[in-house]
Amino acid sequence: MNINNYTLRRKWIKVKEIKRIKKLLTLVICAYNEEKNLHRLFENLVNQENQNFNIIFVNDGSTDNTLQIAKEYMIKNENCIVISKKNTGLSDSRNIGTKYVKTPYFMYLDADDFLDRDTIGIIEKRLESSEKRLDIFKINVKSVSEEEVIVERNKSVELQEVRGTEAIIEVQHFYFFLLGFIDKLYMLPTVYVFRTEYFRKNNFEFEYGRYHEDYGLIPFTVLLADNVTTTEETLYNYVLSKNSITRTKDNKKAIKKAEDTLYFYKQSILAIEELRKNQNNDGRITKQVYKKF
């Protein structure tokens, strides 16, 4: 056998073996008119030290070049699929993207944000090293300017493999709802790595057509989890974009955001009362948990 052909064949076999490696994590990315941010996003993903992840990119009816840029990335990277649909909002886009997840774990990534380059590796290590199967692994955040200058590192706390109810009532450890006074970004869906089977078994979904949809979902994803771990490491870069819906100066949007926040507050009260009455909650919704929640 010609040595060159043999070398090429060995390389081909190695490539095939790499392709056979089962991915552990999927990044669900939803975007509407994000063409100015996508080059940074995709460059960041290409340069992740650990490439053991898939990407589901949902184009929410963009009118700029978002879809074209995403397709160009998809052609070069077989770990990415692109879904394009009419504009129905972030909640619907996330719900649709989640349905296509085929890996054991997934997380959401906003198109205008980015990850530290060792993030995937750190996540994989923590998921695989836990004694029990994690339902949720929460990473921490740093706020950065549009020029990628660090503005603030978010203050958070460490939590090691506890039930979601303990995350709420164990004052010395986590303060989940008191966490709002410690970790002001704890409601971000993008800082949570979810076990796919756990997420689907509980039929978790973001409510369609409302702002602050995370307020109505994230607390319950933690509450019902059997195994939760967090880290203080600031791996997620939350970009302080001037056009973000959380910083809008549009009065109508501001009013709707306030109304939707109140709506989710009321819905959460009803939901926790319903869980407390449910005899199938394994006794986890005690009076103490109910009060803290």
HEC sequence for 207-244: CCCCCCHHHHCHHHHHHCCCCEEEEEEEEEEEECCCCC
Coil, strand or helix at 252: helix
pLDDT for 172 equals: 43
- DSSP β-ladder status, 159-162 and 114-115: unpaired
Nearest residue to 244 via CA among 172, 204, 190, 283: 190
Low pLDDT (below 70) residues in the chain: 1-21, 168-182, 243-249, 279-282, 288-293
Bridge partners, residue 114, by sequence:
237
- Stated pTM of the model: 0.84
Nearest residue to 66 via CA among 34, 98, 44, 91: 34
For residues 101 and 273, what is the distance between their CA atoms, to the nearest angstrom?
31
Instruction: Enumerate long-range contacts of 166-172, CB under 8 Å, 24 or more apart.
Output: 167/222, 167/223, 167/225, 167/228, 168/222, 168/223, 168/289, 168/292, 168/293, 169/288, 169/289, 169/292
pLDDT for 112 equals: 96
pLDDT for 7 equals: 37
pLDDT for 215 equals: 84
The C-alpha R_g of the chain, in whole angstroms, comes to 20
DSSP state of 247: G
Residues 208, 216 contacting (CB under 8 angstroms): no
For residues 89 and 91, what is the distance between their CA atoms, to the nearest angstrom?
6
pLDDT for 261 equals: 84
For residues 7 and 286, what is the distance between their CA atoms, to the nearest angstrom?
64
Nearest residue to 236 via CA among 116, 83, 99: 116
Quick one: tokens of 231?
């880290």
